[in-house]
Amino acid sequence: MNRNKSLLIILLYLMSWIIAVKTSVQANIFRLNSPSVLMDRLSFIPTITPYPQFTSTVQYEIQSGTPLWLGNFTHPDKGCDVILVAGQVFDLNSKPVTLIVVEVGGLHDNQVISQLSLTGIAPSYGPGGYEVVFTDLSIAKNKLWIKLYDLSGNPLSSVFYFNVSNECGKNLALVNFVQITESNIKPTYFLPIVFNN
């Protein structure tokens, strides 16, 4: 959706620029003696950058003491036939944070697999709970990785690698995150330049 929105903004910008150039030419504002004069004028047109752009740094890290390996207590019907990665995300005041995207991935048969979750959708783990369920137990052969993102896809944490187990009683990896810095995501706006010649 963000890509479509960016493309629409670019299209609208280009259409307004074409109309402005056409009007300028019709009003004889561009007094063209040679093609190089037009090219000199066009060189001042800014590069179009998707709007808005965000910059961010690492804001969350793994909570000390996690991951913890527990037995599956949230899906008793599945028992030991799943591998779970779950937990919560906490802010600087140790309060649960919702609406953070959690990506968990790993290798399976030499192919990268990943799943997404959202904090706040798995209340069995707490108000900021998330959960990812893997039904193929062979994923435990390799390390998994986990990373946080905001809803726009900007990374909020580094990638963290950890082991999982398909052993019954240890098939739930509880991984919590804590905030380490204030949010510094600031929108950067790029506005079109209008020439009045």
For residue 42, what pLDDT is reported?
42
Q: Which of 10-14, 56-60, 89-93 shows the lowest per-residue confidence on average (mean pLDDT)?
A: 10-14
Write the DSSP symbol of residue 170: S
Q: CB of 148 within 8 A of CB of 60?
A: yes
Residue 147 has pLDDT above 70, yes or no: yes
Let me know the angle formed at the C-alpha of 25 by 22 and 29, rounded to the nearest 5 degrees: 130
Q: Which of 197, 78, 94, 85 is nearest to 147 (CA)?
A: 85
User: CA 148, CA 22: separation in Å to the nearest integer?
Assistant: 47
Write the DSSP symbol of residue 127: T
For residue 5, what pLDDT is reported?
55
Residue 148 has pLDDT above 90, yes or no: yes
66-104 pLDDT tens trace: 899 998 899 888 888 888 999 999 999 999 999 999 999
Q: What are the distances in angstroms from CA 124 to CA 37, 77, 128?
A: 68, 15, 10
What CATH architecture does domain 60-179 belong to? Sandwich (2.60)
What sign has the CA pseudo-torsion 61, 66, 67, 71? negative
Parallel/antiparallel/unpaired status of strands 160-162 and 111-118: unpaired
For residue 168, what pLDDT is reported?
85
Q: Domain residue spans in the chain?
A: 2-51, 60-179
